[in-house]
Amino acid sequence: MNLPTLTSADFFPMLPAIIMVVGACILLLSEVFLSAHSSRGYQAVLTAITAVIAGVVALKMVFEPAREVFLGFGALDPFSSFLTFVVCVALALATLTSAGFLRKRGAERGEFYALMLFATAGMSLLAISNELITLFVNLEVLSISTYALTSFLRRGTRPSEAGFKYFILGAFSSAVLLYGAALLYGATGTTHLTGMVLPLANAVRTNPALVYTGALLVAAGFAFKVAAVPFHMWTPDVYEGAPTPVTALMSAGVKAAAFAALVRVFVTVGPGLDPQLPLTLFSTLALLTMVAGNLLAIPQRNVKRMLAYSSIAHAGYLLLGVAALFATAPGEAFSLLGSTSLGTTATPQAVARAEALRGILFYLLAYTVTAVGAFGVVSVLERREDEERGTAWDLERFSGLAQRRPGWAFAMAAFMLSLAGIPPTVGFLGKLLIFRSAVDAGLIGLTIIAVLSSAAGVYYYLRVVVYMYMRPVPEGAHALERNWMTEFALVVSTVAVVVLGIAPGPVTEWLVQAGHLLGR
């Protein structure tokens, strides 16, 4: 019998996920031996440490030569490794804000952290999936964990509504994605992305309807996960109803992982399709998402909902980056697994694509540190009692925060400026990189729309700053409890937002590494 051989090198790209799963198992096992009153402070710390270790490993992997692993089921490349790093950062920061949040509600449990770890492991595996079934399974690992997390705080109607909505619509979108994948399989006879390119080129000629329906359904499935308009309807309700640290993980981590899979699928099978298809598709999605996200955010007085709509808007900017990736020399084949070094022979198109990819990656990191930080501030301000009335996240909560907690207000101001893309914050550099790629790729009109919509975005981000700094402290405002872990996360996020905004040096180095691989 001729068995394929797997070596430890095949398992290496899974290492971050393995570390996180082991961490989750430890948490689950230790949880059941605790009584209801035992101290559970170690759980958040353990989770954060696990995330940090996994993140460091992922960073190490960025410098590994790109290759297919697991018989082509997975791909180890700097792109997926950097995204794994990003989701680990999201997890670490979200975890640190969870401890205080859960304790206030008497809901601190090992299962919560275990689910967070499982979800993140799913994200990191999704980033390396190079085959449709593997991809789908990992997408489900991450989705099911987040469904459970969404309704983790069972009491009240909001969590149930959010969990239910997310589950139904999520399952629906998974089915759509799976159906699309099945059609692609039907058209090509393989589920391996790399192996699909040649048969796909044949199938496009013989049976275009099958191929395009498949590709569009797959794109729609991903569009749901990244909350792109018009597949965004669930986002505000789910983001509002989910526990705030979970919302943070969803808005940063799930988005990053879904973008990873989306880029990988369309970059890999793209050459087999009509060259204009990905470009048209993502340009349209980007246009709708940027404009709708920003416009819908403007009337929100509920900060958590505002951040949800802002998350949609940011998905729009990312889609602009994806469109730029496909706009440079459309139809020319390229691979995430290309040679590891651009060298001196790189064509201008290859350089441009590498830059577009770097832009997407940097933007995801920038959005992660900023959004998780912002949700962190939201989580320390809210109280359970106000949730049912829906006033827990009202702008009024931020009134006079600068006088009560100057540190929190400063951090929130930094996050808002970063989300609005104002230098010297990391959000600005992210936008700069994306816009640069888009202009370079000739998407001038789309970039101008992006610029205008982000100018509109300034209004609702600044409103939070106005309330914090220019409104008096309201009468009878409730006391603000401090929590060292949350504050530590806020400090880390703020420092990252400012320092990466001024000196992105090391990160751009990693990105150079991650971008090189596009050089075929």
Partner 1 sequence: MLSLLIFFPLVGVLVMYLLPKRVGRTVATVTSGVELALAGVMALLIDWSRGGVLQLEERVAWVPTLGASYHVAVDGLSVPLILLTALLTFLSLLYSGVEEERPPTFHAMFLVMETALIGLFSTQDLLLFYLFWEASLVPMYFIIGVWGHADRVKAALKFFLFTRLGGLALLLAILGLYLGVEPHTFDIPTLVRAQPYAGTSTAAALILLCFLIAFGIKLPVVPLHTWLPDAHTDAPTEGSVLLAGVLLKMGGYGLVRLALPTVGDMLAEWALVLAILAVVSGLYGAAVAMAQEDLKRLVAYSSVNHMAYVLLAVAVAAMLGAGSEARQAALTGAMYQLVAHGLTTGALFFLVGMIARRAGTREISKLSGLWGAVPVLGTVLAVVMFASLGLPGLAHFAAEVQIVLGALAVWWWAAAGMLLAVLLTTAMFVWTLQRVLMGRSDGLKGLKDLSAREGVTAAALLVLLVVLGIFPGPLAKLIEGATEQVRAAVLTRR
Partner 2 sequence: MDPSLNPLASYLPLAVALLLAGALALIIPSLAAVLGPKRPSAIKSTSFEAGSESSGPARQRFAVKFYVVALLFIVFDVEAVFLYPWAVNFQSLGWFGYVEMLVFAATLVVGLIYIWKKGALEWES
Residues that bind partner 1 (CB under 8 A): 358, 417, 420, 422-424, 428, 432-433, 435-436, 439-440, 444, 447-448, 451-452, 454-455, 458-459, 462, 466, 469-470, 502-505, 508-509, 511-512
Q: In the complex, what is the shortest distance from the CB of residue 179 to partner 2, in angstroms, rounded to a whole number?
A: 15
Burial class (CB in 10 A: 0-12, 13-18, 19+), 364: buried
Distance CA 121, CA 441 (A): 34
Q: In the complex, what is the shortest distance from the CB of residue 232 to partner 1, in angstroms, rounded to a whole number?
A: 24
Distance CA 297, CA 289 (A): 12
User: Cβ of 456: how many Cβ atoms within 10 Å?
Assistant: 15
- 170 Cβ partners below 8 Å, 6+ apart? 143, 147, 224, 234
Nearest to 135 by CA among 13, 258, 250, 312: 258
Among 3, 36, 209, 479, interactor with partner 2 by CB under 8 A: 3
What distance lies between CA 501 and its chain's CA centroid? 19
Q: In the complex, what is the shortest distance from the CB of residue 205 to partner 2, in angstroms, rounded to a whole number?
A: 12
Q: In the complex, what is the shortest distance from the CB of residue 256 to partner 1, in angstroms, rounded to a whole number?
A: 21
**DSSP for residue 347:** -
Q: Which two tokens stand for residue 419?
A: 């989300």
Whether the CB-CB separation of 377 and 97 falls below 8 Å is answered with: no
**Which of partner 2, partner 1, none binds 439 (CB below 5-8 Å, type-dependent)?**
partner 1
Distance CA 420, CA 292 (A): 16
Distance CA 208, CA 222 (A): 21
**Which of partner 2, partner 1, none binds 71 (CB below 5-8 Å, type-dependent)?**
none
**Which of partner 2, partner 1, none binds 169 (CB below 5-8 Å, type-dependent)?**
none
Q: In the complex, what is the shortest distance from the CB of residue 283 to partner 1, in angstroms, rounded to a whole number?
A: 18
For partner 2, the closer of residues 32 and 479 by Cβ is 32
The b-or-e profile of 214-237 (16+ CB within 10 A means b, else e) is bbbbbbbbbbbbbbbbebbebbbb
Q: In the complex, what is the shortest distance from the CB of residue 463 to partner 1, in angstroms, rounded to a whole number?
A: 8
For partner 1, the closer of residues 98 and 454 by Cβ is 454
According to the binding rule CB under 8 A, does residue 208 interact with partner 2? no
The b-or-e profile of 18-44 (16+ CB within 10 A means b, else e) is bbbbebbebbbebbeeeeeeeebeebb
Whether the CB-CB separation of 259 and 226 falls below 8 Å is answered with: yes
Where do we find the tokens 């990988």?
264
For partner 2, the closer of residues 77 and 111 by Cβ is 111
Q: In the complex, what is the shortest distance from the CB of residue 132 to partner 2, in angstroms, rounded to a whole number?
A: 15
Whether the CB-CB separation of 303 and 395 falls below 8 Å is answered with: yes
User: Cβ of 92: how many Cβ atoms within 10 Å?
Assistant: 22
**Binders in 123-152 for partner 2, by CB under 8 A:** none
For partner 1, the closer of residues 242 and 413 by Cβ is 413
Q: In the complex, what is the shortest distance from the CB of residue 21 to partner 2, in angstroms, rounded to a whole number?
A: 8
Q: In the complex, what is the shortest distance from the CB of residue 97 to partner 1, in angstroms, rounded to a whole number?
A: 26
According to the binding rule CB under 8 A, does residue 1 interact with partner 2? yes
Helix intervals (H) in 250-347: 255-269, 276-297, 303-327
For partner 1, the closer of residues 183 and 446 by Cβ is 446
Distance CA 351, CA 344 (A): 11
Beta-bridged to residue 302, according to DSSP, are 394
For partner 2, the closer of residues 27 and 83 by Cβ is 27
Binding mask 426-465 for partner 2 (x = CB under 8 A): ----------------------------------------
Distance CA 387, CA 154 (A): 13
Binding mask 177-196 for partner 2 (x = CB under 8 A): ---------x--x-------
Distance CA 299, CA 93 (A): 29
Q: In the complex, what is the shortest distance from the CB of residue 95 to partner 2, in angstroms, rounded to a whole number?
A: 20
For partner 1, the closer of residues 137 and 462 by Cβ is 462
**Which of partner 2, partner 1, none binds 428 (CB below 5-8 Å, type-dependent)?**
partner 1
For partner 1, the closer of residues 226 and 443 by Cβ is 443
Nearest to 319 by CA among 249, 235, 251, 255: 255
**Which of partner 1, partner 2, none binds 4 (CB below 5-8 Å, type-dependent)?**
none
For partner 1, the closer of residues 204 and 514 by Cβ is 514
**Which of partner 1, partner 2, none binds 186 (CB below 5-8 Å, type-dependent)?**
partner 2
Among 6, 9, 470, 495, interactor with partner 2 by CB under 8 A: 6
SS3 74: strand
CA angle 198, 201, 206 (to 5 degrees): 125
Distance CA 261, CA 465 (A): 35
Q: In the complex, what is the shortest distance from the CB of residue 434 to partner 1, in angstroms, rounded to a whole number?
A: 11
**Which of partner 1, partner 2, none binds 448 (CB below 5-8 Å, type-dependent)?**
partner 1
Q: Rg of the Cα trace of the chain?
A: 22
Binding mask 19-38 for partner 2 (x = CB under 8 A): ------x--xx--xx-----
Q: In the complex, what is the shortest distance from the CB of residue 392 to partner 2, in angstroms, rounded to a whole number?
A: 31
For partner 2, the closer of residues 71 and 452 by Cβ is 71
Whether the CB-CB separation of 497 and 418 falls below 8 Å is answered with: yes
Contact set with partner 2 (CB under 8 A): 1, 3, 6, 25, 28-29, 32-33, 186, 189
